[in-house]
Amino acid sequence: MPKPIREGNGPRHVAIIMDGNGRWAQRRGRPRLFGHHAGAKRVREIVEACPDLGVRYVTIFAFSTENWRRTQSEVAGLMSLFRVRLDKKLVSLMDELELMTSGCTGVNLTIAINYGGRDEVARATRRLAQDVAAGKLDPDAVNEETLPKYLDTCVLPDPDLVIRTSGEARISNFLLWQSAYAEYEFIDTLWPDFCAEEFGRLVTAYGNRERRYGGVKA
């Protein structure tokens, strides 16, 4: 594991597109769901590595709105794996987990399930428009700082670093608004092989980048 980065020099919020579980399993002659189980174990390892690296927030892309198009067996297995679905019983399990960990202050883990960036922005825009129509918001006062207050992630800082595993170089509708100025790392490693050491290298490399946010260095 690389040495911890200097405080304030590394990413506070890392978002991860965990890709490659199915391919990892298929290369081993196993069903795709076997890869998802292996990938779930990696989540814990990565989250546990965060405090020493100065990472306070982690958002993982577990299941997108587009993933419902997969086979019924894979979708059912994923829903069981992440213990979440839109039915009340499984949602209550997530609520219970949030309550149990509400006093924890080390790392804030957000799991994006049934999530799509365009859908999120559309819903946020609709809520904003409703407030304008109701006279709660002056349309002339709307700027780029207004919409984030209506996003699902309004309680989180924007991600500083976005990592996608498996060799795919696209963002797949993930945190579209929030990642406007994030640094990206597209790596070939399949998610079940993505270890804490590699994660540490990426976090440390971020700390060495020059962040100008569209400006120029004086």
Catalytic residue among 52, 67, 131, 193: 67
- 208 labelled catalytic: no
Phi, psi of 39 (to 5 degrees): -65, -35
Catalytic residue among 19, 21, 108, 158: 19
E strand or H helix that includes residue 16: strand 13-17
Q: How far is CA 35 from the centre of its chain?
A: 19
- 193 labelled catalytic: no
The residue with tokens 């391919």 is: 23
Distance of alpha carbon 43 from alpha carbon 47, whole angstroms: 6
Distance of alpha carbon 47 from alpha carbon 182, whole angstroms: 19
The strand pairing partners of 58, in sequence order, are: 14, 109
**Catalytic sites, residue numbers:** 19, 67
